[in-house]
Amino acid sequence: MDTLNQLDPDVLRVGHLLADAARTATLAHFRTADLATDNKLAEGYDPVTVADRAAERAMVDILARERPDDAVMGEEYGAVAGTSGLTWVLDPIDGTRGFVSGTPTWGVLIALGDSDGPFFGIIDQPFIRERFIGGHGVATVTGPSGTHSLKTRAPRDLSQATLFSTFPEVGTKAEGSAFAQVAKQARLTRYGMDCYAYALVASGQVDLVIEAGLQAYDVQAPIAVIQAAGGIVTDWRGGPAHQGGRILAAANAEIHAQALAILGDCPE
C-alpha cells in the first residue's frame, strides 16, 4: 500500500501481520456448528468465543516477537507493559454477538497510539475480506474490488443524514433519550453494525455513529481510520474519545456540530 508511505513502514508491516493472523484465527470458527462460547455476564448476554481468545493470543504473540518494547491492551487478555511510549490496542472480535449469529458485520480492531490517542488503525472484516486502514491523514480500503482511498461524506443537514448505532437501547435512559432526539431529526437510522458502521463513515456511506458505554478497544481503531479519512470522533461534549464512553463519530465538522448541539445537553 504505497499510499500509506507516510506511516512508519514497520508499523504498517506489523499491522498487516496482526490482521492476517486474526483473520485466520476467526475464520477457523466463523459459522461453525460447534463454536465454543461463554457468557461474560451473570444477567444478560455478552458472549466471548474461542475465536476471540485465539485471535487475540495470535496478535499478542506477534507483538511480543516483532514489537517487544510496545505496550499492549487487549479485550480478552488485558495489558502488557511496554517501554516505548506506544500502545497497541486490540479487539479481536468487535461484535461477538454478530459473530455467533453468523452475520458478516463484526470485525477485528487494531490501533497504535500514545498518550494523546491513536494515530494508526485497522478495521478488518475477515469474511468479506475488507481491510480499512488509516493513519497520518491517509486512509484506504482493500477488498474484493481492489484498493481505494477513503473519504468521508461532504457536509449536509442533519435532516438528510444517515445515523447508525449498534443497539436501539443506547446506554442509560438519559443517553437513550438524547440519541432519540438526534435520530428523530435524521433522515435514516439503522442499527446492529458494530465496528462496520465506523468503516462506513470512513467510506463516505453514512454520516454519524452515536454510541455510549464503549471501551477503549472498541473505538481506538475507528478513531484513527475515520480521522484519516476526513471525519471527526469525540465524546458527547466534544472532547477526546479514545478512552471510550460516549462516542460521536461524524463525517465532517458541520454534521458533528449539529449532533453535538443535541447530545451535549445529556447529563452525565
Q: Which residue has the cell 492476517?
A: 20
Query: Are the beta carbons of 219 and 247 closer than 8 angstroms?
Result: yes
pLDDT beyond 90 at 142:
yes
Provide the residue ranges of all domains of the chain, joining segments of one domain with +. Answer: 2-149, 158-263
d(C-alpha 49, C-alpha 102), whole Å: 13
Residue 3 banded pLDDT, cuts 50, 70, 90 = very low
Inter-CA distances, 166 with 169, 181, 190, 197, Å: 9, 17, 8, 8
DSSP one-letter string for 166-196: S-SS-SSHHHHHHHHHHHHHSSEEEE--TTH
Q: Nearest CA to 199 among 143, 238, 146, 241?
A: 143
How does the average pLDDT of the chain come out, rounded? 95
pLDDT beyond 50 at 228:
yes
Least confident of 23-37, 41-55, 155-169: 41-55
Inter-CA distances, 72 with 20, 91, 207, 214, Å: 18, 11, 31, 18
Q: Which residues of 96-132 are buried (b: 16+ CB within 10 A; e: fewer)?
A: bbbbbeebbbbbbbbbbbeeebbbbbbbbbbbeebbb
> pLDDT digits over 32-85, tens only?
998 999 998 878 888 999 999 999 999 999 999 999 999 999 999 989 999 999
d(C-alpha 120, C-alpha 229), whole Å: 12
Same fold? 2-149, 158-263: no
CATH architecture, domain 2-149: 2-Layer Sandwich (3.30)
pLDDT beyond 60 at 4:
no
Residue 1 banded pLDDT, cuts 50, 70, 90 = very low
Query: Are the beta carbons of 7 and 136 closer than 8 angstroms?
Result: yes
| Average pLDDT of span 87-114 | 97
Q: Which residue has the cell 499492549?
A: 72
d(C-alpha 70, C-alpha 48), whole Å: 26
Query: Are the beta carbons of 212 and 175 closer than 8 angstroms?
Result: yes
CATH architecture, domain 158-263: 3-Layer(aba) Sandwich (3.40)
